[in-house]
Amino acid sequence: MMNQLSKCTWGVLLLTVVSNAQQPTSLWGAVEQRGVVYRLDALGVSPFEGQQDPNQGAVASPQQVIDRIGIVAPFTRRVRTFGVAGGLAIAGSAAHTFGLEAAIGAWLGPVQASNAAEITTLVQIGLAGEAEILIVGSETVLRGDLTPAQLITYIQQVRGAVPGIPVTTAETYRVWLEHPELVDAVDLLFVNYYPYWEGVPIEDAVGQLACWHAEVVTAATGKEVVVSETGWPTAGDAVGQAVPSMTNAAFYFGAFVSWARRNNVEYYWFAAFDEPWKALYEGPQGAHWGLWDAQGHLKPAMRPVFAGLMLPPATAVAECLPNGSGIPSIALTLIPAVGSSADLEGTVLHVSPITHRVAVYIRVGGGWWTKPTFAEPVTAPAWDGQWITDITTGGNDPLASDVAAFLLPLGVSPAPANGQPFLPASIFADALAWVQAPKP
């Protein structure tokens, strides 16, 4: 868990900087007089303002792109974009005029014609020397817009057309771990980590991210692993134990950057600006991921990082294992009663949740069935080892008499059960631990 004294100390610094923000004798005043002490590795930048929604065809003017990049230029060494349509095609050349490097992304989705246009423009940008890194898609596999094989085809197309410029794709850490073929296809890994979206409490957030990152580095076969997105919203709804607020966002910003600097991890912070239009898609927190507000003003609480201040090291959460080291095990914490449509809940212990999965079966009418579905036969545990599986995805499922859960290493596919009287024999050989119980 993050050192509590560190959080308190950071809170005092925030109060000092925020309350004295306009005074020449303040910490920030001194920084303003001699320039930013610390520049971020990179920032995710979107030029769309107010309710400009690129999903609805909004186009940012060239001046708008230039102005937005100009605001952040003194604070970062590189900028990243997430597409090349909607006026974004000039972002790389604009960044270069400010002396910044550029990581330019093509936005890929389920529409082939749109993808082809994005890839064509991305290749043109690469050939023009307007980008240092080319990013082919952002979380396309996570969303289910493309299969890994389809995404790899686009990656190979760009690598073949623009030799000499590193090419990657951006995905969550879970996608990278689940699809080693993506690791083989890229020059370096762009990995997204969001403790907020996974409900991690703020005190544990950076320690948990460090655990995730270590797992990806191990799986990367020596390739560079870059944090391509992380952040914390300054307002919005709580997700589990993760609470958005200005104080928590500033603390996460400071703790993460301190960790990255201390461990020489290259990173891209998300995001530069608040974007009101995103609330339609992500809820109220979608509008509040920026270090700068929607009008382009740096939020005072974020200033200590640029002043060069660092927090002490974060302690990895329980050595990255729920309940510490020990014999791998699995337990059921909530078994729905016969006739109930509630989910089955449980926990895995003494293993890394991100490199293990849970296979669940139910017995209905004397036969065993895979849950939740044949297409999705395993459940990924959460950061703290907790897992929840929907076991009522068929007509008579609420009448199940028994449940069984098996702890499997990542990559092991459980044998399916479609009504046979016994559980598959191979699942017992594959599992690290298992539990079976009758429903009450």
Long-range contacts formed by 286-295: CB under 8 A, 24+ apart: 286/233, 286/236, 287/235, 287/236, 288/233, 288/234, 288/235, 288/236, 288/244, 289/231, 289/232, 289/233, 289/234, 290/234, 291/43, 291/75, 291/253, 292/71, 292/72, 294/49, 294/50
Please give the mean pLDDT across all residues of the chain.
92
List the structure tokens of 79. Answer: 């900028």
Handedness of CA 196, 202, 208, 213 (dihedral sign): positive
List the structure tokens of 161. Answer: 């057309």
Query: According to the model, what pLDDT value does residue 219 have?
Result: 97
Query: According to the model, what pLDDT value does residue 7 have?
Result: 54
**CA 18, 276, 22 angle in degrees (round to 5)?**
20
Query: According to the model, what pLDDT value does residue 33 have?
Result: 53
- Say how many residues make up the chain: 440
Do 408 and 431 contact (CB within 8 A), yes or no?
yes
Do 257 and 205 contact (CB within 8 A), yes or no?
no
d(CA 140, CA 131): 21
CATH number for 4-317 (one of 3.90.70.10, 1.10.10.10, 3.30.70.260, 3.20.20.80): it is 3.20.20.80
Tell me the Ramachandran region of residue 275: left when phi exceeds 0, alpha when psi lies from -120 to 50, beta otherwise: beta
Helices (H), 106-172: 112-127, 140-143, 148-161
Do 103 and 131 contact (CB within 8 A), yes or no?
yes
Query: According to the model, what pLDDT value does residue 320 have?
Result: 84
Which residues lie below 8 Å from residue 324, measured CB to CB, with a gap of 6+? 318, 350
Query: According to the model, what pLDDT value does residue 322 have?
Result: 82
Domain boundaries, the chain: 4-317, 321-438
Which residues lie below 8 Å from residue 311, measured CB to CB, with a gap of 6+? 3, 6, 9, 10, 254, 255, 258
H or E segment and range at residue 33: helix 27-34
Strands 329-334 and 378-379: unpaired
Query: According to the model, what pLDDT value does residue 243 have?
Result: 98
d(CA 81, CA 30): 32
Burial 315-340 (b: 16+ CB within 10 A, else e): ebbbebbbeeeeebbbebeebbeeee
d(CA 91, CA 84): 8
Tell me the Ramachandran region of residue 155: left when phi exceeds 0, alpha when psi lies from -120 to 50, beta otherwise: alpha
Query: According to the model, what pLDDT value does residue 325 have?
Result: 86
The residue behind tokens 């910490």 is 27
Long-range contacts formed by 11-16: CB under 8 A, 24+ apart: 11/247, 11/251, 13/304, 13/309, 14/247, 14/250, 14/251, 14/301, 14/304
For 321-438, CATH number?
2.60.40
Do 189 and 226 contact (CB within 8 A), yes or no?
yes
Q: What is the pTM of this model?
A: 0.91
Query: According to the model, what pLDDT value does residue 22 have?
Result: 40
- The dihedrals phi and psi of 330, each to the nearest 5 degrees, come to -140, 145
- SS3 call for 236: coil
Radius of gyration for the chain, computed over Cα atoms and rounded to the nearest angstrom? 24
Residues of the chain with pLDDT under 70: 1-35, 314-319
Tell me the Ramachandran region of residue 264: left when phi exceeds 0, alpha when psi lies from -120 to 50, beta otherwise: left
The residue behind tokens 């065809």 is 57
Burial class of 352 by CB neighbour count within 10 A (0 to 12, 13 to 18, 19+): buried
Query: According to the model, what pLDDT value does residue 313 have?
Result: 79
Residue 271: asked if its preceding bond is cis (omega within 30°), the reply is yes
4-317 and 321-438 share one fold: no
H or E segment and range at residue 5: helix 4-19
